[in-house]
Chains A and B, each alone.
Chain A
Amino acid sequence: MLILNCPYCGVETDETDLHAGGQAHLKREGPGSSDDDFEDYLFMRENPKGVHFERWRHVYGCGKWFHAARCTSTLEVFGTYPAQTLEPPQEICDKISQKRPGWSWGTFK
């Protein structure tokens, strides 16, 4: 069972209280973007064995979207943070670096 801390409510909540929202930190490609960029935005996703960043919604609670950094192979959660950001906060990256030296994900490392 995946247990995440909702950064808005400050409570520990498990995945039955949440709704998964897929990969985090997608850059939206809108009108005017190239076909390749738009295709990447629509279809291409990270699928790592290891460090991953996801969107989750506290659907039975506050209803807010937040981001989670976790490991897909061990289910270890490195941290959660509010969704109003384009990249993971430094403290989360530092925590991941401590536990998974040399990690990288998309353009983040």
Chain B
Amino acid sequence: MSNAISALQGRMTPGEVTIREAGLRGMIILRGDLGNKKLRSVCKTVSGVSFPEQGHANCIDERGLCWMSPDELLVMVPYGEVADAIVKIDKALKGQHYLAENVSDARALIMVEGSYSREVLAKLAPADLHPDSFQPGDFRRTRLGQVAAAFWMQDEDTFEVICFRSVAEYAFDLLAASAKSGPVGHFS
């Protein structure tokens, strides 16, 4: 078995807002009926967090559930546990109409950490990131510059951003450039 390597191998641009590639993270795309009781319960079992509402993400450390669309959920677990998690999901949903796919190696995860991280994201995405509209627990799929991405807040100063692995470098450079150019003061 070859060694798994994350998209940017932990690259970091330190600063008042630090941009850091977070390494490997287990991600499973689960499509199906999100109202289904079996689906909800196996997701909770596998991730250890409660089931998210529309437009929300429940994440604790490396585990989490993110609401991607009315029939799509992102299940996050530590990288090494993905295979087990998919086996559990397959077992629980056998005979039902669903799809669970390991997308861990197709994605990159980038952390944006620091005092004005909210503005670093707001400069790049057409999303309302005002503190009144976007808080820890909220989840948004949108674009960063020219590529698709999704993000959520771990806490007031920390965003987690996911994007496709093929555009990880672009997304990282974009975030680093946004951080380097400093705060705007728009939200203060």
> Which residues does A use to contact B, with CB under 8 Å?
8-14, 16-17, 60-64
Contacts and interface: CB of A to CB of B under 8 A. Distances in A.
A9 B53 CA distance: 10
A8 B128 CA distance: 17
Contacts of A12: 128
B128 A17 contact: no
B142 A61 contact: yes
A10 B69 contact: no
B83 interface: no
Contacts of A62: 68-70, 72, 141
Give chain B's interface secondary structure class: strand
B54 A10 contact: yes
A11 B140 contact: yes
A14 B126 contact: yes
B141 A60 contact: yes
A10 B140 CA distance: 11
B143 interface: yes
Given A8-B70, A62-B69, A62-B72, A17 B55 contact: no
Interface in B115-149: 126-128, 140-143, 148
B70 A64 contact: yes
A62 B128 CA distance: 17
A13 B69 contact: no
A61 B126 contact: no
B70 to A, nearest CB: 5
Given A17-B126, A60-B141, A61-B69, 11 more contacts: A8-B70, A9-B54, A9-B55, A9-B69, A10-B55, A11-B128, A11-B140, A12-B128, A60-B148, A62-B69, A62-B72
Nearest to B72: A62
B142 A60 contact: yes
A64 B141 CA distance: 12
Contacts of B70: 8, 62, 64
4 shortest interchain CB distances as A-B pairs: A62-B69, A60-B143, A61-B141, A14-B126
